[in-house]
Amino acid sequence: MNEHFSDLRLNRGNSSGGEESFWPSFTDIMTVIVMIFLIVMLVLLIKNMDLVTRLQATLEAERAATQQVETTSSLNRDLQAQLERTQAQLDMLRMQLMDMGEERDRLENQLAQSRSALAQEHSRLEQEQSARQKEHKRLEQEQAARAALASQFNAATAKIASLTDARQKQNEKLAVLERQRQRTTSQLAALQGEFSNLQGKYEKLIRPARTSRGKYVVNVRILRKNGKLLRFIRSPEQSAFEAVDADTIRQKLDKLHAAHPDDMYVRIIFPDDSGLSYSEAWKMTESLLQKYDYYYRPQTNTPSLDSGSGK
């Protein structure tokens, strides 16, 4: 019955040659298995190298950000110390200025007393000169005393002028120190703002990506039709969008946000024919996300590197 068909089997022969044909076939199968294993190992090795490269880049970026934050913190401390030293110098100059003011008041009082004594002495001398012509020697002594008082008056006047000049110089120096303090305060405020920006960038660098997975998703659709801005909202409990005005949509979002403050995901939809410019759409998106979306709420804890890999 088999004489009309050719035998196509690879290992033909009698039963005595069956054992010899088994091993070449087994060898081919094992070769294929080994090649598949090597190819799989090569693919896994390439993926592993790519993963290691990306992990190294992430760690390098984190180290750079940390170093920049430390540098900014050190500069902030130095400026704070300089501001404290400047404030101490300013207080010291104010005390010196107060002491000089007291000294000037004392000298002015002394000058007034000297003027009063000089006037009294002059009146007395005039009366004695008309009444006692014989007391010429005493009059000369009185005149010498008058000259001494005049010299003392001139010395006191010169000292007051010197103190006035010194006070003006101290005021100028105080004004310079005040301007320096203001510049230092401005630099400190600028560095604090830069530190806040760097801290925000650092938190964004290691913060998990924004995702709607496992979140309470609220859809908001906005478009302009016939010059009128239309708003639609749909919560997970609703099967279709609901048309609302500006006040109503904010009331609904406030209510939903109060019920889901930590997991509310706001998806804003602008149709292709929305009639809105890019600037208008961006301002609306930023306003709604900053106020209601979970991702833009203030972060109280800095996330770890492990949590940054989830999407």
In a domain, 50, yes or no: no
Are residues 167 and 100 in contact, defined by beta-carbon separation less than 8 angstroms?
yes
Confidence class for position 220, pLDDT limits 50, 70, 90: very high
Mean pLDDT value across the chain = 82
Q: Are residues 222 and 100 in the same domain?
A: no
CA distances from 210 to 177, 296, 310 (A): 49, 9, 10
Nearest alpha-carbon partner for 42 in 34, 32, 54: 34
Q: Are residues 251 and 163 in the same domain?
A: no
Confidence class for position 301, pLDDT limits 50, 70, 90: very low
Distance CA 164, CA 85 (A): 27
Looking at this protein, which amino acid is placed at residue 87?
Q
Distance CA 37, CA 31 (A): 10
More confident residue, 125 or 235: 235
Two tokens, residue 24: 């070449």
What is the total residue count of the chain? 311
Does 168 have pLDDT greater than 60?
yes
Does 259 have pLDDT greater than 70?
yes
Looking at this protein, which amino acid is placed at residue 1?
M
In a domain, 169, yes or no: yes
3-state secondary structure of 89: helix
Two tokens, residue 154: 């001139």
Number of domains in the chain: 2
Does 145 have pLDDT greater than 90?
no
pLDDT at residue 207, rounded to an integer: 65
**21-46: pLDDT as tens digits:** 677 788 889 999 999 999 999 999 99
pLDDT at residue 296, rounded to an integer: 85
Are residues 146 and 125 in contact, defined by beta-carbon separation less than 8 angstroms?
yes
261-288 average pLDDT score = 91
Domain hosting residue 248, numbered range: 216-309
Q: Are residues 259 and 188 in the same domain?
A: no
Predicted TM-score of the model (pTM): 0.34
More confident residue, 305 or 246: 246
Confidence class for position 201, pLDDT limits 50, 70, 90: low
In a domain, 5, yes or no: no
Dihedral, CA of residue 57, residue 61, residue 64 and residue 68, to nearest 10? 170
Name residue 290's beta-bridge partners.
Answer: none
Maximum mean pLDDT: which of 89-93, 120-124, 153-157, 232-236: 232-236
Q: Are residues 235 and 274 in the same domain?
A: yes
Q: Are residues 173 and 254 in the same domain?
A: no
Q: Could you tell me which residues come within 8 angstroms of residue 39 by beta carbon, excluding any fewer than 6 positions away?
A: none
CA angle 32, 33, 38 (to 5 degrees): 95
Distance CA 268, CA 235 (A): 12
**6-16: pLDDT as tens digits:** 444 444 554 44
Does 150 have pLDDT greater than 90?
no
pLDDT at residue 304, rounded to an integer: 37
Q: Are residues 129 and 201 in the same domain?
A: yes
